[in-house]
Copies of this chain bind each other. A is one copy, B any other.
Amino acid sequence: MAEFELITRIRQRAATRDDVILGIGDDAALLQPPTGHQLVVAMDTLNAGVHFPRATAAADIGWKALAVNLSDLAAMGAEPAWCTLSLSLPESDEDWLDGFLDGFLELAAQHRVALVGGDTTRGPLSVCVTVHGFVEPGRALRRDAARVGDTVWVSGTLGDAAAALALLESGAIPAVDTLRQRLDRPTPRIALGRALSGLAHACIDVSDGLLADLDHVCEASGVGMRIALDRLPASDALGTACDDDARASFQASGGDDYELAFTAPTATDGEILAAAANAGVPVSRVGEVVVGERVRAFAADGCEWQPRHRGHIHFDG
């Protein structure tokens, strides 16, 4: 297929929305933002061999490329609307593209996101996505809004994706089906982000590892945090797959969870629990915001935990 055939194929499968005046096929997309809202824009790239194992199924790459971007909108409390996709492919491969679109468009449909533009180019396999959403003025969840005394919360379970990657790299593929689903098909917590919008204080999605991500919140907000390691939520699969030390490390420092970590005044604990129940996502109290500069994590015996590294660091050479 030539480039234009690839684009035609994508165009034929992409859904639209009433607020898309002009989607794929012109020099740019023409969109109608709703009045009285702010626009929320996130952009993330996944490169083969860096952000996903090269053997990952095309459909999983498609899903994940959109999921990590939607997760950023969730962390802002935004309602998603549109996305653009720039796909670099080493060669034109119809079957691969169809598989990729299966995963990408399945997740897009779940959140009523219209694919409205982008490009296809020749190059090493790389997927760049930009997502657009909306939030009511004053209700965005920002990193700089944590306040001393807030409770620190985390959604879902932590560490599954990092454990899956470690097990995959050690060759233990058959053992990790449940965990691998968490690595390959992360769930952007859109409904939870919307429910927390205007209720929680600060929020971030856990992509680099809980402690590393919460450090960003501390820095932006000018606060510290104390996290109780034994309160970090773990899946049954993670408990079965590794010992306690490895589990704690995956939970505190593993990346790719795409859960939400957020802070809220202690007085709103009941409202937070009700909002999470409405969104269908469990949330756990894992610590508190204190005077300080960064996150400190403590084991059940009261000893401070010193991770080997706090999260994924790129470009550390």
Contacts and interface: CB of A to CB of B under 8 A. Distances in A.
B42 A135 contact: no
A67 to B, nearest CB: 14
Contact of A117 (B33, B41, B135, B317): B41
Nearest to A45: B86
Contacts of A144: 26
A84 B220 contact: no
Interface in A300-317: 313-317
A281 to B, nearest CB: 17
A80 to B, nearest CB: 11
Contacts of A170: none
Contacts of A31: 38-41
B2 A314 contact: yes
Given A116-B41, A117-B43, A132-B41, A3 B314 contact: yes
Nearest to A143: B26
A271 interface: no
Nearest to A207: B27
B43 A121 contact: no
B47 A122 contact: yes
Contacts of A128: 43, 45, 86, 128
A26 B204 CA distance: 8
A3 B45 CA distance: 14
Contacts of A35: 35
A166 interface: no
Interface in A206-229: 220
